[in-house]
Amino acid sequence: GPTGTITITQEGSVFTATGPTEKIPADGTKTVTGSVSATAGLAWTISPEESNSIKVSPIAGSGYSELTFTGEDNEGRERTGSFTVTVTANPARIASISVKQESKEVPAIVGSIEVDKIQYREKIDYNDANRYCQSKGWRIPTAAELYSMYQSRYSLMAIDGFEPFITTTNTTDYYWSCSFNTEGVIVRYFGQKTSTTTNPNYPALVRCVRNIVN
Q: Are 103 and 74 in contact (CB under 8 A)?
A: yes
Buried b (16+ CB within 10 A) or exposed e, 179-200: beeeeebbbbbbeeeebebbeb
pLDDT digits (tens, 9 = 90+) for 147-198: 999 999 999 999 988 999 999 878 789 999 999 999 999 999 998 889 999 9
Average pLDDT over residues 92-103: 93
Over residues 41-45, the mean pLDDT reads 93
Buried b (16+ CB within 10 A) or exposed e, 122-138: ebbbbeebbebbeeeeb
* Residue 146 three-state SS: helix
pLDDT digits (tens, 9 = 90+) for 20-39: 999 999 999 899 999 999 99
Statement: residue 82 has pLDDT above 90: yes
3 vs 12: which has the higher pLDDT: 3
Residue range 133-159, pLDDT digits in tens = 999 999 999 999 999 999 999 999 999
